[in-house]
A and B are shown apart, each in its own frame.
Chain A
Amino acid sequence: MNISNKFGLTAILLSLALAGCSSAPIDDTTEIEDTTVQTVQVDTTIEDAAAAAGSVFYFDFDKAVLKSESRAALLAHSSALMASPRSVRLEGHADERGTREYNMALGERRANAVKEFMVLQGVSGSLIEVISYGEERAASYGSNDSAWKMNRRVELK
């Protein structure tokens, strides 16, 4: 039998009604129609991010509160951005625990917390783009506390 890609996955579509079929015997026929699933490949429209420029800020589980240890680095970044303005991107992330869409929201909340801090220091909000990857882009692999700690983060790029 020659299974080509074209026919790799077919669905059942019936041309006949199925009313009462399980009890009415004989002359009860189902036609299996041919359907095909098509593949789409997309080119991504962004460039591969340059290796993370080093600025990563960490958070507690299900929290979006900046830690005191992040303060010094964020102040330095803010000063630099005010001195020579450029567009930056804040990427928010979550660890793998919990649901994916909730973690998308959590990653955004964390990135927004960093943005608000920088805006308070005087950086123009229009220079800062916030994007959340939720749990989709782990920095550290493994399902344990040390990996999760590294993944609850915001990266400034």
Chain B
Amino acid sequence: MLSRKKSVLLLLLLLASSSAWSELIIRVTQGNDKPTMIAVPPIALNGIQIDEDIGSIVEGDLKRSGLFAAIPRTDMLAFPSTAEDVYFRDWRILGIEYLVVGSMTIIGEGRYQLDFSLLNVTRQKTVFEHSVRGTKVQMRDLAHLMSDKIYQEITGIRGVFSTRIAYVTANRVKGKYIYRLNVSDADGAREKLMLESREPIMSASWSPSGKDLAYVSFETGRPAIFRQNLMTGARQQLTNFSGLNGAPSWSPDGKKLALVLSKDGNPEIYMLDLALNSFTRMTRHFAIDTEPTWMPDGKHLLFTSDRGGSPQIYKLNVASKKVQRLTFRGNYNARASLAPDGRTLALVHRGTDVFHIASFDLITGRLIELTETRLDESPTVAPNGAMLIYATKQGDRGVLAAVSLDAGVRYVLPARRGDVREPAWSPFLR
């Protein structure tokens, strides 16, 4: 056990050395005022060699939500791995409210089981126990599943640590562009390339199952909408009209895509029935109609239109095709992303002269600016409605940042090479 003096010194050393990998660590620049104090000592590996530090992945997940603060390992008096090993008084002295302990065992050829428990320190009891199994390359999945269960138990909100983000990067090499469509874990780790092209890729939209993405690719020399399966790589071109083929948005039942075509002379919202391969025109106006997004009821679409003189958000009844204007404040409100409550919109809002992400309450009509950066765009709300990710600029570079829908929590995602843009948060994958 470490004495208090020694542990402070160790903590300082840890802070000093952390700059070496700070590029890979998500910095929470603003968190909750009264975070829940949690401790995640190392998972007992019982001789098993793994590269990932599961305990610190869980700790990172929980801290990134902004609702938790954790004590460093150097402050811990012991590293218990089962509930029986826990001496609650040690943790109460440190101000810990919840403690996570866990232990790994081999259960077969390349298969591992992680048994973990969440302990309530104040009440001195086990809140729950759970086991999760997987292979060595799935250790991050095991960790994120732990985080989801702990987060849900304590906050009552479903965790999004096991979800993914799709995004586009653009690099200029010797005057030529390389566009990439990538998918990573929600924490930015395990980036995987889905598509690479010399022509623009944009507007990725997840299928509700999380197994497919629809997106726009210019690879044929003009924009066309494609769908691609994440696991098989199988892809299919869905549209090939003259003019715009853009802004696909998958319906909640997965059977339709709302999208934009300008084959009639100007951009209109269309509906593609994926089984029948039939297109139905939804809007009829000489203005720009674009950026459709489904409401959770599957019966309404929200879209951006400048039919009133400036871009604003409108609501369309799919059955009657009746259109109703929703936003009035400011001369630029566009690209709505709806929270799962069906009530809170995230949108791009132009304040005085800069573009911010704002939330808009469909019932009260209240609009709140959430971001303080500039040139903010492409908000995408997490499937649990707690946070949103958006694209912004750091210097001349595009980066992704996150903010909670109450603006209380903020962080910037790890730096990538080139311009990062157009994040799309996956649905729940389990």
> Chain A residues in contact with chain B, CB under 8 A?
1, 3, 7-14, 18, 21-32, 34-46, 48, 62, 96-102, 104-106, 108-109, 112, 130-134, 136-137, 141-143
When each residue 113-150 of chain B gets 1 if its CB lies under 8 Å from chain A and 0 otherwise, what string results? 10000000000001011111111111001101100010
Question: Which of B141, B375, B421 touches A12 (beta carbons < 8 Å)?
Answer: B141
Q: Looking at the assembled complex, report how far the CB atom of B211 sits from the nearest CB atom of chain A, in whole angstroms.
A: 9
* Nearest-neighbor residue (CB-CB) of A8 within chain B: B192
Q: In the complex, are the beta carbons of A30 and B162 less than 8 A apart?
A: no
Could you tell me which B residues sit within 8 Å of A by CB distance? 49-51, 113, 126, 128-138, 141-142, 144-145, 149, 152-153, 162, 164, 170, 176-177, 183-185, 190-200, 202-203, 210, 217-223, 228-233, 235, 243-244, 246-247, 260, 262, 265-267, 288, 290-291, 304, 306, 310-311, 332, 334-335, 348, 350, 355, 374-375, 377-378, 393, 396, 421-422, 429-430
Asked if B221 and A46 make an inter-chain contact with CB atoms under 8 angstroms apart, the answer reads yes
Once bound together, how far apart are the Cα atoms of A41 and B228, in whole Å?
A: 12
In the complex the two chains form, is A104's CB within 8 Å of B196's CB?
no
- Tell me the nearest residue of chain B to A142, going by C-beta: B396
**A7–B137 CB distance below 8 A:** yes
Partner of A101, one of B133, B233, B260, B396: B260
Q: Which residues of A contact B393 (CB under 8 A)?
A: 143
Show 16 residue pairs from A and B whose CB-CB distance is below 8 angstroms, ordered by the A residue: A3-B51, A9-B190, A12-B145, A12-B429, A29-B131, A29-B132, A30-B133, A31-B133, A32-B133, A98-B332, A99-B334, A101-B304, A102-B304, A104-B246, A105-B244, A134-B202
**Given known A-B contacts A98-B311, A99-B378, A102-B335, A1 and B136 have beta carbons under 8 A apart:** yes
User: In the complex the two chains form, is B149's CB within 8 Å of A36's CB?
Assistant: no
Given the interface pairs A11-B429, A39-B192, A99-B377, the reply to whether A32 lies near B145 with Cβ below 8 Å is: yes
Closest chain B residue to A7 by CB distance? Answer: B137
A8 to B355, CA, bound (A): 36
Asked, given contacts A11-B429, A42-B196, A97-B375, whether A30 binds B131 with beta carbons under 8 Å apart, the answer is: yes
Residues of chain B within 8 A (CB-CB) of A102 are 288, 290-291, 304, 306, 311, 334-335
CB distance from B310 to the nearest CB of A (A): 8
B396 touches A141 (CB 8 A): yes
A98-B310 Cα distance, complex, nearest whole Å: 12
The reply to whether B192 and A40 form a contact with Cβ atoms under 8 Å apart is: no
Instruction: Provide the bound-state CA to CA distance between A21 and B130, in Å.
Output: 8
A105 touches B290 (CB 8 A): yes
Q: Is the interface of A mostly helix, strand, loop or mixed?
A: loop
- CB neighbours of B217 from chain A (8 A): 42
Residues of A near B184 (CB, < 8 A) are 9
Nearest CB of chain A from residue B372's CB, rounded to whole Å: 16
Assess the B132–A30 pair: CB atoms within 8 A. Answer: yes
Choose from B133, B197, B306, B375 the contact partner of A96 (Cβ within 8 Å).
Answer: B375
Report whether A108 and B138 are in contact in the complex, using a CB–CB cutoff of 8 Å: no
- A28 contacts across to B, CB distance below 8 A: 128-131
Determine if A101 and B291 form an interchain contact, defined as CB atoms under 8 angstroms apart. Answer: yes
How far, in whole Å, are A22 and B199 apart by their CA atoms in the complex?
A: 46
Q: Decide: A108 near B243, CB < 8 A? Known: A22-B153, A25-B129, A98-B348.
A: yes
Q: Which of B183, B202, B246, B335 contacts A37 (CB 8 A)?
A: B183
Cα distance A102–B141 when bound, in Å? 37
Contact B137 A41 (CB under 8 A): no
Bound-state Cα–Cα, A16 to B338, Å:
30
Q: With A21-B130, A45-B219 given, is the CB distance from A100 to B230 under 8 Å? A: no
Q: A42-B197, A97-B375 known; A30 and B130 CB under 8 Å?
A: yes
Q: Which residues of A contact B396 (CB under 8 A)?
A: 141-143
Collect the chain B residues with CB atoms within 8 Å of residue A3's CB.
51, 137
Pairwise interchain contact B375-A10, C-beta atoms closer than 8 A: no
